[in-house]
């Protein structure tokens, strides 16, 4: 959150943090969201996950006005993404991965892509963005059989399992593009899911942790915010 505030402030975006107190309930958070939805001065709302256990994240995310959905997690926006006609705001981490692929001119159309992880915030939207860009996509998860074998077929391998160091060179086709999304604190140090020193021997491109997808996620959040703010002004001006 500190980095999000820092980047937003540097860009001239008014950033207001609504810190939830210990006694907060789903209903009180829904009231806050309703106030922000109704406020003409608010262009974008981010629900920082995970929420405290007593608060239902699905109800809170669904309550956000889809036109102020900074993270692109509202079911309407995810549904549009699934239909192949995404809205203005795309889920930040997967969109950041797509931006890395675009920036480094990694061919996506026709490529074999494998995504490890099927969460609603990373794995699933990542797979949708890749398929919308005409990749042939396989989603792997904790019950996948022969994970290394499937990963070795990938031209693009996106790893978002939250298992530090699980992907080594035996998972990687020579020349493949590997994007490490995982972030786990191990003895105070941020570790990715990819064994960097092993995979760098075979990969054509390798996005590291820290320093790869993390900053891109924040950049995409800012891009979403700008797009939502512009759209609201076009409508109301």
Judged by the rule CB under 6 A, the positions of this chain that interact with ligand NAD are 93, 116-119, 121-123, 140-142, 144, 147, 160-163, 166, 181-184, 213-214, 217
Shortest CB 50 distance to ligand NAD, Å: 9
Cβ 182 vs Cβ 151: under 8 Å: no
Shortest CB 139 distance to ligand NAD, Å: 8
Q: Please tell me what DSSP assigns to residue 45.
A: B
- At 168, list the tokens: 């080594």
Q: Scanning the structure block, which residue is given the tokens 């493949």? A: 176
User: Which position's Cβ is nearest ligand NAD?
Assistant: 119
Shortest CB 49 distance to ligand NAD, Å: 8
In the chain the beta strands, taken as DSSP E runs, fall at 112-116, 136-140, 156-159, 177-180, 184-186, 189-191, 205-207
Q: Which residue out of 27, 48, 197, 201 is catalytically annotated? A: 48
d(CA 233, CA 47) in angstroms, rounded, equals 23
What are the backbone angles phi and psi of residue 36, rounded to the nearest 5°? -70, -40
Determine the distance from the C-alpha atom of residue 202 to the mean position of all C-alpha atoms in its chain, rounded to a whole number: 26
Shortest CB 110 distance to ligand NAD, Å: 25
User: By C-beta, is 67 or 117 nearer to ligand NAD?
Assistant: 117
For this structure, is 4 an active site residue? yes
User: By C-beta, is 42 or 152 nearer to ligand NAD?
Assistant: 152
Shortest CB 193 distance to ligand NAD, Å: 7
Cβ 179 vs Cβ 213: under 8 Å: yes
Alpha-carbon distance values, 62 to 17, 28, 56 (Å)? 20, 15, 10
User: By C-beta, is 45 or 147 nearer to ligand NAD?
Assistant: 147
User: By C-beta, is 36 or 115 nearer to ligand NAD?
Assistant: 115
98's CB contacts (< 8 A; 6+ apart) are 90, 108, 129, 130, 133
User: By C-beta, is 34 or 49 nearer to ligand NAD?
Assistant: 49
Q: Which residue out of 69, 71, 180, 193 is catalytically annotated? A: 71
**Residues with catalytic roles:** 4, 48, 71
């Amino acid at each position: 959150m500190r980095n999000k505030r820092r980047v937003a402030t540097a860009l001239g975006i008014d950033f207001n943090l609504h810190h939830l107190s210990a006694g907060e309930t789903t209903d009180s958070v829904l009231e806050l969201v309703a106030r922000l939805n109704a406020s003409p001065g608010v262009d974008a709302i981010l629900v920082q996950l995970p929420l405290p256990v007593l608060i239902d994240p699905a109800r809170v995310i669904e309550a956000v006005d889809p036109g102020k959905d900074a993270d692109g997690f509202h079911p309407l926006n995810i549904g549009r993404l699934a239909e192949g006609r995404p809205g203005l705001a795309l889920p930040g981490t997967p969109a950041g991965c797509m931006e890395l692929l675009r920036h480094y001119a990694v061919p996506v159309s026709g490529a074999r892509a494998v995504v490890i992880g099927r969460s609603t915030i990373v794995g699933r939207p990542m797979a949708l963005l890749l398929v919308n860009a005409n990749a042939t996509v396989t989603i792997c998860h904790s019950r996948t059989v022969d994970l290394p074998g499937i990963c070795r077929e990938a031209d693009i391998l996106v790893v978002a399992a939250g298992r530090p160091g699980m992907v080594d060179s035996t998972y990687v086709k020579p020349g493949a593009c590997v994007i490490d999304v995982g972030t786990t604190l191990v003895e105070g140090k941020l570790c990715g899911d990819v064994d960097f020193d092993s995979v760098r021997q075979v990969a054509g491109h390798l996005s590291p942790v820290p320093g790869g997808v993390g900053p891109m996620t924040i950049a995409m959040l800012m891009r979403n915010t700008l797009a939502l703010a512009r759209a609201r002004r076009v409508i109301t001006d």
